């Protein structure tokens, strides 16, 4: 099948092509997910719109209010090496550094990964835990979509067919917030099979040791990247304990809806997700501990 | 549609009329007959087709020709100069880091990029750099030793 190719040089040009294509175009940035699907003949694009050379989709900046802006076409390599991001949200570069392997990090983009909306993607759940905003560009300018409204179904986002993700805006965290990212994978590299991941942002109360606030993202356990206000509410205002995590574990069995696959059963994934959650929470929590004693065995 | 792309491959410019969906690995192998870049999984997983795009390793099976338009590509064929193998290639021979040879070009290009970016990597950094390349013959030990021995040469 013949395919049209638009090398867009501006967001407007890309949006114009999207409008003209009436939903028939595929956006390509790094191509590390799309071209796999093309090689497998699962996608046969009739129109590709290349957005990787649009200057407005690049760059990592800290805005005056502390918000960190990441252009949609910023590569995983750039995210992993960004001091601006590392200073603001420690888990994000750590997460990016563990995506696939170096040669995929060199081409794959954070925006492409988020827009793929793969339930096993790592950037999406980091953004869920950080309450990021997805800024879309479309025919009427830009539109801000809260990340918790962005992932609507399997490989489906809230973007309209004439919209593209322009940038990701991560709001500054409140004082004393800490973050951590945890991943369970069969292999350290190229973990394209089943992975379970958890992203955590929390504030630990300095006197009580309770979680004053906690925000979570779960990967590999549903149709989309997943968050759960129910689980966050259970944890908020409590201190970590065996009983608390057992409660969370049993609730997670109802909340999470992973699929059985050739490696793991759905229930095994629920179990691993609960264990990964506990470990990742404690990774973040211990980092804020400035007193004595350990609450968790 | 057919479009024209210009690829700078190993220091030489080539113009091609391509379908936009044509991958760089296909162009290298089928049009330029640079068959040192191996095609295997076509999913970016195995690393056999690794080339350097502007000095950085990428999977050429996941790189469409227009994505590489006016960019610099280096393949394994660029490592040998005037009939002389690169120190890394020599090290692969010395350490027996080659058995069937299918993965070798990918390892060589990944390790070449590592040593250009970080001339004195420790073992952990070597393992990290090579973690995405699969070898089903030698078991990696000899490959890692070969890279270590090529440091500073």
Structure tokens that stand for B127 in this block: 């393992």
Cross-chain Cβ contact B43/A104 below 8 Å? no
What pLDDT score was predicted for residue A133? 98
Q: Among B61, B67, B131, whose Cβ lies nearest the Cβ of A52?
A: B67
* Entry pTM: 0.95
Structure tokens that stand for A145 in this block: 């979509």
Q: CA geometry: angle at A132 spanning A253 and A185, to 5°?
A: 45
Cross-chain Cβ contact B21/A192 below 8 Å? no
pLDDT tens for B101-136 read 999 999 999 999 999 999 999 999 999 999 999 999
What pLDDT score was predicted for residue A238? 97
* Chain A residues with CB-CB distance to B52 below 8 A: none
Tell me what the pLDDT averaged over chain B comes to: 97
The contacts of residue A265 (CB under 8 Å, 6+ apart) are none
- The ipTM value here is 0.96
Query: Helices B87-94 and B141-150 sit at what angle, rounded to 10 degrees?
Result: 140
pLDDT tens for B77-102 read 999 999 999 999 999 999 999 999 99
d(CA B35, CA B54): 20
Q: Which of A29, A99, A102 to mutate to test the interface with B (most CBs of B within 10 A)?
A: A102
Residue A43 contacts B where some CB pair is shorter than 8 Å: no
| Chain A from 234 to 293: CB within 8 A of any B CB | none
What pLDDT score was predicted for residue A1? 66
Classify domain A177-288 at the CATH topology level.
Answer: Enolase-like; domain 1 (3.30.390)
Residue of B nearest to A35 (CA): B62
Cross-chain Cβ contact A36/B62 below 8 Å? yes
d(CA A195, CA A118): 11
Residue of A nearest to B58 (CA): A103
Q: Among B44, B66, B110, whose Cβ lies nearest the Cβ of A32?
A: B44
Cross-chain Cβ contact A48/B20 below 8 Å? yes
Cross-chain Cβ contact A101/B43 below 8 Å? no
Cross-chain Cβ contact B67/A40 below 8 Å? no
Q: How far is CA A170 from CA A53, A117, A150, A201, B14, in A?
A: 23, 18, 14, 12, 43
The domain locations on chain A are 4-116+133-170, 177-288
* Chain B residues with CB-CB distance to A192 below 8 A: 43, 45
What pLDDT score was predicted for residue A106? 98
What pLDDT score was predicted for residue A297? 24
Give every residue of chain A whose pLDDT is below 50, as ranges.
Answer: 288-297
Residue A100 contacts B where some CB pair is shorter than 8 Å: yes
pLDDT category at B73 given cuts 50, 70, 90 is: very high
d(CA A269, CA A222): 10
* Architecture of the domain defined by A4-116+133-170: 2-Layer Sandwich (3.30)
pLDDT tens for A139-158 read 999 999 999 999 999 999 99
Domains assigned to chain B:
3-75 (3.10.20.30), 87-150 (1.10.150.120)
Pairing state between β A141-146 and A133-138: antiparallel
Residue of B nearest to A50 (CA): B67
Decide: helix, strand or coil at residue A87: helix
* Chain A residues with CB-CB distance to B71 below 8 A: none
């Amino acid at each position: 099948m013949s395919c049209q190719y638009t090398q867009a040089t501006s967001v407007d040009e890309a949006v114009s092509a999207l409008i003209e294509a009436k939903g028939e175009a595929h956006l390509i940035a790094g191509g590390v997910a799309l071209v796999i699907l093309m090689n497998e003949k699962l996608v046969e694009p009739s129109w590709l719109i290349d957005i990787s050379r649009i200057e407005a989709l690049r760059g990592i900046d800290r805005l005056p209010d502390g918000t960190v802006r990441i252009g949609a076409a910023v590569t995983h390599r750039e995210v992993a090496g960004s001091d601006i991001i590392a200073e603001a949200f420690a888990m994000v570069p750590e997460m990016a550094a563990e995506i696939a392997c170096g040669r995929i990090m060199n081409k794959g983009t954070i925006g492409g990964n988020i827009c793929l909306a793969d339930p096993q993607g790592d950037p999406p759940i980091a953004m869920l835990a950080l309450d990021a905003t997805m800024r879309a560009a479309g025919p009427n300018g830009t539109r801000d979509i809260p990340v918790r409204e962005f992932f609507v179904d399997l490989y489906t986002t809230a973007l309209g067919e004439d919209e593209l993700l322009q940038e990701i805006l991560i709001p500054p965290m409140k004082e004393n917030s800490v973050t951590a990212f945890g991943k369970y994978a069969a292999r350290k590299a190229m973990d394209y099979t089943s992975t379970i991941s958890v992203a955590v942002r929390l504030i630990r109360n300095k006197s009580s040791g309770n979680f004053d606030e906690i925000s979570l993202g779960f990967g590999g356990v549903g149709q989309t990247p997943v968050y759960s206000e129910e689980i966050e509410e259970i944890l908020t205002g409590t201190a970590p304990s065996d009983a608390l995590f057992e409660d969370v574990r049993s609730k997670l069995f109802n909340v999470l809806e992973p699929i059985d696959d050739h490696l793991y059963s759905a229930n095994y994934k629920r179990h691993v997700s609960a264990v990964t959650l506990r470990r990742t929470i404690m990774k973040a929590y211990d980092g804020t501990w400035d007193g004595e004693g350990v609450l968790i065995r | 549609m057919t479009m024209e792309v210009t690829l700078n491959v190993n220091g030489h410019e080539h113009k091609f009329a391509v379908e936009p969906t044509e991958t760089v690995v296909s162009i290298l192998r089928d049009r330029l007959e640079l068959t040192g870049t191996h095609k295997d999984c076509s999913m970016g997983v195995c690393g056999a087709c690794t080339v350097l795009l502007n000095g950085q390793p990428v999977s050429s099976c996941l790189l469409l020709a227009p994505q590489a338009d006016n960019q610099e590509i280096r393949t394994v064929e660029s490592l040998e100069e005037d009939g002389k193998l690169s120190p890394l290639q020599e090290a692969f021979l010395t350490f027996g880091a080659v058995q069937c040879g299918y993965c070798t070009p990918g390892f060589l290009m990944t390790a070449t990029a590592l040593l250009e970016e970080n001339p004195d990597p420790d073992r952990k950094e070597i393992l990290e750099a090579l973690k995405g390349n699969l070898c089903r013959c030698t078991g990696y030990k000899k490959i890692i030793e070969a890279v270590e021995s090529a440091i500073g040469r």
